[in-house]
């Protein structure tokens, strides 16, 4: 039966007991107290006050692969899974929104270069599961604090998407002292391509001429991230 946010049978004491046990483990345990499908079960309780949410949780993982894949899926795709609907999809999407905002607040509160893992967490949460290639520029002040996280555009990273002079001009306009280039690889593999290296070097050279430092170019993918600075490519 395909019904939006279908609550199913009441389930009686077995369902209530199962939910109570999950809640107890959640409150008393650590980050690994619940399996991924149990995390999804619990999140679905709010939109499905009765009935067993385990089959839906497992169907979501089968469709999207991982917990992160589920939470980063678009709402329309989530709603198409048997037993899901708009309300259940919204309950899952708000978790991803909260995670992104928490990570963003951490990045804004600290010098970026002194909080590298915080930055990587922020970028990974926001970009690792995108299905399109997205280019961003993080503009920093003289204390390496984030001034602006600028979404340049979507598409392959080349001069049709990211223009070196425009990147540098924007930085000068807002009083930035440095920048970090960021983009993702939807393939999952974060290794830089020849085009990635070429455009990075053009932007770095333009920045040197005008006193704007390019600290790094970070490439994010499902399989991890790569710092072009760490690889000696800048």
Number of domains into which the chain is organized: 2
Give pLDDT tens digits for 98-125: 888 888 787 776 777 777 888 888 888 8
Same domain, 95 and 120: no
Task: Work out the number of other CB atoms within 10 angstroms of the CB of residue 96.
Answer: 17
What is the number of alpha carbons within 13 Å of residue 86 lying toward its C-beta? 0
Note whether residue 7 is domain-resident: no
Query: Of the residues 74, 100, 126, which one is the last residue of a structural domain?
Result: 100
Looking at 100, 133, 158, the residue that finishes a domain is: 100
The CATH code of the domain that includes 177 is 3.40.140.10
Q: Who wins on pLDDT, 78 or 104?
A: 78
Tell me, yes or no, whether 55 and 154 share the same domain. Answer: no
Within this chain, do residues 94 and 115 fall inside the same structural domain, yes or no? no
Please indicate whether residue 181 or residue 130 has the higher confidence score (pLDDT): 181
Among residues 192, 217, 215, the alpha carbon closest in space to that of 135 is found at 217
Taking CA 204 as the corner, what is the angle to CA 200 and CA 208, rounded to the nearest 5 degrees?
175
Confidence of residue 5 (pLDDT cuts 50, 70, 90): low
DSSP 110: S
- pLDDT per residue as tens digits for the range 46-68: 888 777 899 999 999 999 988 88
- Per the domain annotation, does 126 fall within a domain? yes
Range(s) of the domain holding residue 193: 111-227
| H helix runs in 139-193, sequence order | 164-173
The pLDDT of residue 140: 94
pLDDT at 160: 55
Compute the Cα dihedral for 17, 23, 28, 30 and give only its sign.
Answer: positive
CA distance 67 to 96: 11
Is the per-residue pLDDT at 74 higher than 50? yes
Distance (Å, whole) CA 102 – CA 73: 19
Residues 92 and 132 in one domain: no
Are residues 61 and 123 both part of a single domain? Answer: no
Beta bridge partners of 35: none
Looking at residue 20, its pLDDT comes to 87
Average pLDDT, the chain: 86
Phi, psi (deg, nearest 5) at residue 219: -110, 130
């Amino acid at each position: 039966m395909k019904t939006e946010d279908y609550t199913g049978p009441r389930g009686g004491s077995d369902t209530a007991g199962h939910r109570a046990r999950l809640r107890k483990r959640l409150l008393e345990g650590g980050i690994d107290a619940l399996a991924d499908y149990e995390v999804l079960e619990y999140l679905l309780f709010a939109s499905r006050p009765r009935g067993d949410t385990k089959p839906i949780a497992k169907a979501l993982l089968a469709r999207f692969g991982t917990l992160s894949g589920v939470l980063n899926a678009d709402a329309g795709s989530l709603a198409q899974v048997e037993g899901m609907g708009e309300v259940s999809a919204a309950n899952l999407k708000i978790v991803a929104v909260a995670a992104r905002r928490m990570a963003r607040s951490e990045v804004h509160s600290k010098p970026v270069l002194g909080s590298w893992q915080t930055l990587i967490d922020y970028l990974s949460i926001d970009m690792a599961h995108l299905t399109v290639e997205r280019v961003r520029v993080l503009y920093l002040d003289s204390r390496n604090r984030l001034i602006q996280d600028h979404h340049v555009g979507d598409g392959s990273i080349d001069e049709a998407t990211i223009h070196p002079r425009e990147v540098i001009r924007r930085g000068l306009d807002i009083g930035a002292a440095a920048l970090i280039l960021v983009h993702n690889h939807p393939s999952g593999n974060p290794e830089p391509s020849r085009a990635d290296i070429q455009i990075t070097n053009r932007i770095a050279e333009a920045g040197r001429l005008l006193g704007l430092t390019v600290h790094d170019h970070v490439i994010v993918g499902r399989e991890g991230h790569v710092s072009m600075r760490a690889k000696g490519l800048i």
